[in-house]
Structure 1
């Protein structure tokens, strides 16, 4: 294999294998052979000590090398020179006096017996809390690494840096995804993240329970309901809501639908649709989800609705009572009559609701209240 082919294959391995420490031996062999080394080392650890150090060695007994790392690495007189040259490819021994180095206990007890006198090293740190070193070593017989070998490792190091940063960012994204999924599991409504074709990307815990009961279904990977007419109605509403989110259609308020439950006496589901913002980064829960279909079972009391709205919008008890009545379809006059208050008082409370919910019309207010009830976390 020629050097160009070797280099091309090596760079492919860098991006394919860097994220799996179990494969680092293969990667190290390629790097070490490419620069004519005898032993290779790759170590990655956290700048904030949030992860355990991960390292691999190729070309030497791992246990013997582990002893060197954990007992003697901090004694290495070359270390300060290496750490003062981040991002560069250097010969570790260039930063120390050769006679003093050979007279050190580290050299006599470790370096010389392991025949690893000469080293070619690159150390780099990244914003994604990653610090890594790649090092190739060889013995006195092969002599120090030269300019050609420095150049070769210099061709590889930028790709290693990018690969490790990429995998670190992906790890952070996975952690964020886990947090988002856990938050959705707290919601007492079923949440189904779907695309424009109703293909399901994620279901929270409440939604999973609904599917087990049998009124919400997954057909060929798509969200559906036992009532076929409702399935078609929801799919059509999803298409319209996504068109509205793109500015291609208008909706007077958030879409809410009643979905019958043919085999249940507990009343219909209430379904609402909430288009998701376009993905802007890696921490998207599911890259192909476009809209959240929120399915809520019936049975909440008026007092429960008022309590939820009071907590969400920081309402007074009287304002919360009005908000709860409007959310379930009552008119302002009905509310005033039922509560035995003047219509002017109800209008004042309505004005306060507009201010606290950031709305300006009663239809907009009702949609805002219903959306809040659909996504309440308490």
Structure 2
């Protein structure tokens, strides 16, 4: 059972961030991830924590009849879901941590649902939560080769978790891409400012709000060659680190959320987000009226990626 290669992982990351623009891509991500993790049922759950009911499920690695029965009957008795409702966002959680394995064997959920698929444990990551709903990704592991498979699932989920949570953050704040539409056209309708930059940090395109944002000298500067610079030295250094990491396809090295400060006005937080683009080597930086800054990286058709940054006003 071969390990997931760096190219495999980078391809998964591309799909994760593409799904932040086009939610239909989540189905492709679940299928691709399942293809790399044998003997694992990969599920992306939307769950009502109050009604204890499934709000939707994307799954790969099980018969459609089983998936239908889970949504219809078994989501209501999923003893692991209660634990996921309080699990830390973006962090790997193992089923043994949220429900006693010995007690599991006596539950209706195990005997009527899991056992029919030879499933004995799961690893999961909570992605988003509101007062009554949550989203989480689970890798449900079969008895065969359990220990080996579990280790691979844990390593993969641990690396993917932060990227998936960032992608869901994108979905909350940007317009969804229309099939066949270019990212630039999609984001042109946004009230947030978007600046596209290439791998060297040169601005190549701005939407209408982005053109106005370029005049904010307290936040950014553009040199005579078109390179973007954040006025906060530490934030700008982090942007350079992210550009370098993406250029060498080292996605795990992309920095997470970091602060961006200005000489005047509220500080912001930034988030690096790589995305793929079909034709051009570019990335984008997105600002909102509430001082939310986001940068996307776009890649070539060969799936080489570029960085993206997301900044948010700090309360």
TM-score of the pair, normalised by structure 2? 0.48
Identify the structure with bigger relative contact order (alpha carbons < 8 Å, sequence gap 6+). Answer: 2
Greater strand proportion = 2
TM-score of the pair, normalised by structure 1? 0.41
Greater helix proportion = 1
